[in-house]
Structure 1
C-alpha cells in the first residue's frame, strides 16, 4: 500500500498540544476569570493513575472538573498530574493526554472531542478479510476531487 498523510492523528496531536499549553499556563498563573475545565478521560488507559476506588466507581471513563479547588498541577509532555477533591478527600491522579476523550471550558463555550482510534491490529484484520482483487482495484482507482474556483465567490 502507498504511504498517506494521517490528518486525523496529526489533528489529535495538535489538539493535545493545545491542552498542554493551556494547562502549563494554568499551572504557572492559575485559572483566569471564570475559566474552568471538564475533562473526560479513559480510566482504563494503561498509563492513567487514579485511586482504585475511583477506577472501580468509574470504569471506562470519568469526568473531572478543575475549577475552585485543585492542587499540585504538574504538566509534562505526555500528560498531567493534579490533586482534586472528591467529597473532602483529596486524591492525586495522572491523566495522559492520549487518555483524554473530551476537554471543555464552558465559560467560553470551547471544547475538544477526541474520536476513538481503531488500533492498527483492527485495521490489519479488516484488510485480511477483504478480497485481494478488491484491494488492487481500490489502490489503482484515482481519488476524485472537486475543485472550486474562488472566482465564483467574487463579486
Structure 2
C-alpha cells in the first residue's frame, strides 16, 4: 500500500460515477425537462465502439449531443451504449466512461472536464495515473467559471 492518498484518481472515479448515475437515470426515465448533454469523447480510446466512417471523420474526439432523439441507451459499470442520429442515419455507439473528456448539461449550467496533466516525476507510469479531473461551469463563453484543479494537492 502506498503512503499517499491519490485524491486525483479518487476524484476522477467519483466524477465518472456521477456521469454513470445520470446516464442510468436517463436510461430508466428519459431526459427530464430541458436537460440535455454535450459529451466529448476521445475517439482514439481503444474501447470506444463507433462506425469506421465516424472515426475517420473524428479521429481524435467527437462531441455527442444527447437531446431530442436517441435510443437504446444501456448503461453498464464501464460505459454506455446509445444509438444517435448522424445525418438521418442511426448509429450505435459504445462509450467507456474513461473516454469522456467533457460532460456538460447546459440547461442547468453544469459541466465536468477531465484533462490529461503531465507530471514531471512520471516516466513510465500508466496514463490513468496522469489524469487529473477539473471542474468548470458549463458557460465557457463567459469565462467566469470557477475551475478547481486537483494538481495543487498532489505531491
TM-score (structure 1 length as normaliser):
0.75
Answer yes or no: is 1:77 the counterpart of 2:77.
yes
CA shift digits 1:15-58 (9 cap, x unpaired) = 00000000000000000000000000100101000000000000
Structure ID, larger Rg:
1
Aligned residues, how many?
A: 123
Alignment partners' CA distance in 1, 2:71 and 2:23: 13
Aligned equivalent of 1:98:
98
- Structure 2 unmatched runs, 5+: 126-155
Aligned equivalent of 2:65:
65
Alignment partners' CA distance in 2, 1:31 and 1:78: 21
TM alignment of 1:32-47, pairs within 5 A: 32-47=32-47
Cα 1:125/1:46, change in 2 over 3 Å: closer
- Structure 1 unmatched runs, 5+: 127-155
Alignment partners' CA distance in 2, 1:96 and 1:28: 19
RMSD over aligned CA atoms reads 1.7
The runs of at least 4 aligned residues of structure 1 exceeding 2 Å deviation read: none
Alignment partners' CA distance in 2, 1:16 and 1:65: 18
Alignment partners' CA distance in 1, 2:23 and 2:66: 11
Cα 1:125/1:83, change in 2 over 3 Å: closer
Bigger helix fraction: 1
Aligned equivalent of 1:14:
14
Answer yes or no: is 1:124 the counterpart of 2:123.
yes
* Secondary structure at the counterpart of residue 47 of structure 1: coil
Alignment partners' CA distance in 1, 2:86 and 2:124: 42
